Chain A
Amino acid sequence: MALVAENISLYLSGFNILRNINLSISAGKVTAIVGPNGAGKSTLIKVLSGDILPTSGGVLLNDKKLDRWPLEQRAKTMSVLPQHSSLDFPFTASEVVSLGRIPHQTGVQKDNEIVKEALDLVDASYLKSRFFTQMSGGEKQRVQLARVLAQIWEKEVYGEQFLVLDEPTASLDLSHQMLTVKVVTDLAKQGVGVVMVIHDLNLAASCADHIVVFDKGIIAATGQPDQVLNQELIGKVFGINPVIISHPNTGKPLVFS
């Protein structure tokens, strides 16, 4: 089962934001969406998560049209981390993460355990009693990540689960970028389908099973990192003259501009 975009097009104010996108996010895999600014990556994420209805085409979640899903069942099946989260009310980190348990009826005690473990997982336990409004950008991002993880913490009966992330590493330092990558790949190993927009090509190469290169509203290339990250394609899409070598330890491609 999968999260599938079927021939999606989106026109907004006379612009073709997305053009005939066909994409399948497999359960148990990490799919990274890369591309230059304004390519339509975040818009695609919003269509995949049901925030924007496409002009034509549709999204299937586990073989069922996205808008046919009852909202609560969908929330237990798919968890979404948006690019910007503006929360101006002084919730503590624990309270923010516990919001991820809203769709579930597992009881306070169970929820508190999950909240604690989720905060541990993203190295944010020390924030548990701090106010969200007083955290740094990277701390906020990790707490929000813990929230969407808590939302799909346990397997549900509605099919494979999916995690949709829009730039989860944008304001993180190096070690927390690595931590996020590890959390995401571990989750995929447990069977969750992960799709994320990411700017750092090397980070994408290090963790993704599939990379989707997005450019001007269409998919320019898709495949495994070493197939996609070649000099010609990256040079054309990003308008640079890159140097691509092999990582000495992992063998994954490394891109230098």
Chain B
Amino acid sequence: MRGLTASALSKLLWVLLPIVVLAALSVGTIDIPVSAIIQRTMNLVLGQAGAPIKDDYLSAVIFDIRLPRIILAFLVGAILAISGAVMQGLFRNPLAAPSLIGVSSGASVGASVVIVFAGSMLQFHSIIGLSLVACGAFIGSFLVTLFVYRLSTSTLGTSVTTMLLTGLAVSALAGALNSLLSYFADNEMLRQISIWQMGNLSTANWSRVIIIGAVGLVVLVLFPRDSKALNALLLGESEARHLGIDVQKVKRRLIILTTLGVGVSVAIAGMIGFVGLVVPHIVRLLIGPDHRSLLPVSALAGGILLVIADTVARVIISPTELPTGILTALLGAPLFILLLTHQRKASTIWP
């Protein structure tokens, strides 16, 4: 039997979301009481209704530092989780992840190239609020995914098996390029490369929130429209075609959207591991593989999880903070191993 119904889990998460957000706003290097948060929110919403507070640094902490970071974390987590769910459906493999098609490795090379070759300009240049490194990462992820997609597409359509293998090979190549770049980098560059790769949300600001918000809107609205097609694809590609699905079009659309969503997420937040792999996997164990509920619930759960992880990363060694990517990997990897062993045990009963 399944652990929960989709609507029960969804309700649970919607109740959890405001609690998590309030908690994340409240804790940090300075703790802000919830009452102060509510009061300042009311002030902001109702204009001058409350008494104005002079030089209110708490407002600045809440609205200029913590809130954009929380929204950023939520959106990145939601995009990574929903993309993971889509990739697992498309590849018909519950252990697939968005990084399979080369998005992350491409981003990593793109970022390294910018850090090594444009290091001196890094502090001074930015494009619409994004650092050069983020732009490099996005371009890298897009080029590599395009390459992988092209290699796996013939006149017969796109072979997801070839794509999986090509993605693997290209990721290895990207790893080698990365090592090569690191070899020629100086100490400061090396530090920047490794910090970028750890994944970090501390650079959050409102302009970044707007960028990821726009991308998130596109991805979160368009993915669920292919839920039925993804359900049919679980039966196999020719079965899906016999059910009236234009498989090639659906594949292309899903790969483009994944590249867009994950590419932008990785560009802004760096490598945040395991959210895209573990969240949809756990949600599927709880509510089943029907994408009509799996996609939205995964997005919600991924968003909440990354807000929690980022908050813990902020406070665990306060006053400094851990890169978020380290924390998700620390939490995600053992959880994943647990799931694998659990599945193996289950499969010995049901071969």
Q: Interface on A for B, CB 8 Å cutoff?
A: 46, 49-51, 71-76, 78-80, 82, 85-92, 95-96, 99-100, 102-103, 133-134, 151
List B123-144 residues whose CB lies under 8 Å from chain A: none
Of the residues A75, A78, A91, A103, contact of B234 by C-beta under 8 Å: A91
Q: Interface on B for A, CB 8 Å cutoff?
A: 92-94, 228, 231-232, 234-236, 238-239, 241-246, 284, 288-290, 350
CB-based contact B241/A88 at 8 Å: no
Q: In the complex, how many angstroms separate the beta carbon of A170 from the nearest chain B beta carbon?
A: 17
Top 8 A-B pairs, shortest CB-CB distance? A75-B244, A72-B244, A103-B244, A89-B289, A80-B242, A134-B350, A71-B244, A102-B243
Q: How far is the CA of A73 from the CA of B243 in the complex (A)?
A: 10
Q: Which residue of A lies closest to B238 (CB)?
A: A51
Of the residues B92, B238, B245, B290, contact of A88 by C-beta under 8 Å: B92
Q: Which residue of B lies closest to A92 (CB)?
A: B288
Q: Binding site of A, secondary structure by majority: helix, strand, loop or mixed?
A: mixed
Chain A residues with CB below 8 A from B290, complex form: 91, 95
Chain A residues with CB below 8 A from B243, complex form: 75, 99-100, 102-103, 151
Q: A102-B231, A134-B350 are in contact. Are A49 and B242 (CB under 8 A)?
A: yes
Q: How far is the CA of A82 from the CA of B94 in the complex (A)?
A: 23
Chain B residues with CB below 8 A from A86, complex form: 236
**What would be 22 A-B contacts, judged by CB atoms less than 8 Å apart?**
A46-B238, A49-B242, A50-B242, A73-B244, A75-B243, A75-B244, A76-B244, A78-B242, A80-B242, A82-B236, A82-B239, A87-B234, A88-B93, A89-B92, A91-B234, A91-B290, A99-B232, A99-B243, A102-B243, A102-B244, A103-B244, A151-B242
Q: A89-B94, A99-B232 are in contact. Are A82 and B238 (CB under 8 A)?
A: yes
Q: A95-B288, A95-B290, A102-B245 are in contact. Are A85 and B239 (CB under 8 A)?
A: yes
Chain B residues with CB below 8 A from A49, complex form: 238, 242
CB-based contact A71/B289 at 8 Å: no
CB-based contact A88/B94 at 8 Å: yes
Q: Binding site of B, secondary structure by majority: helix, strand, loop or mixed?
A: loop
Chain A residues with CB below 8 A from B94, complex form: 88-89
Of the residues A72, A78, A90, contact of B289 by C-beta under 8 Å: A90
Q: In the complex, how many angstroms separate the beta carbon of B57 from the nearest chain A beta carbon?
A: 51
Further 8 A-B residue pairs, CB within 8 A, beyond A90-B288, A90-B289, A99-B243:
A46-B238, A75-B242, A75-B244, A78-B242, A80-B238, A95-B290, A99-B232, A102-B231
CB-based contact B235/A85 at 8 Å: yes
Q: How far is the CA of A86 from the CA of B284 in the complex (A)?
A: 18
Q: How far is the CA of A75 from the CA of B234 in the complex (A)?
A: 17
CB-based contact A79/B242 at 8 Å: yes
Q: How far is the CA of A99 from the CA of B94 in the complex (A)?
A: 19
CB-based contact B350/A71 at 8 Å: no
Q: A50-B241, A80-B242, A102-B244 are in contact. Are A85 and B236 (CB under 8 A)?
A: yes
Chain A residues with CB below 8 A from B232, complex form: 99, 102
Q: Which residue of B lies closest to A70 (CB)?
A: B244
CB-based contact A74/B234 at 8 Å: no
Q: How far is the CA of A86 from the CA of B238 in the complex (A)?
A: 12
Q: In the complex, how many angstroms separate the beta carbon of B20 from the nearest chain A beta carbon?
A: 29
Q: Which residue of B lies closest to A102 (CB)?
A: B243
Q: How far is the CA of A76 from the CA of B238 in the complex (A)?
A: 15
Chain A residues with CB below 8 A from B235, complex form: 85, 87, 96, 99
Q: A85-B236, A99-B231 are in contact. Are A91 and B288 (CB under 8 A)?
A: yes
Q: Which residue of B lies closest to A53 (CB)?
A: B156
Chain B residues with CB below 8 A from A46, complex form: 238
Chain B residues with CB below 8 A from A134, complex form: 350
Q: How far is the CA of A51 from the CA of B157 in the complex (A)?
A: 12
Chain B residues with CB below 8 A from A73, complex form: 244
Q: Which residue of A lies closest to B228 (CB)?
A: A102
Chain B residues with CB below 8 A from A88, complex form: 92-94, 234
Chain A residues with CB below 8 A from B236, complex form: 82, 85-87
Q: How far is the CA of A80 from the CA of B239 in the complex (A)?
A: 8
Q: In the complex, how many angstroms separate the beta carbon of B127 from the nearest chain A beta carbon?
A: 42
Residue among B238, B244, B350 with most chain A CB within 10 A: B244
Chain A residues with CB below 8 A from B246, complex form: 71
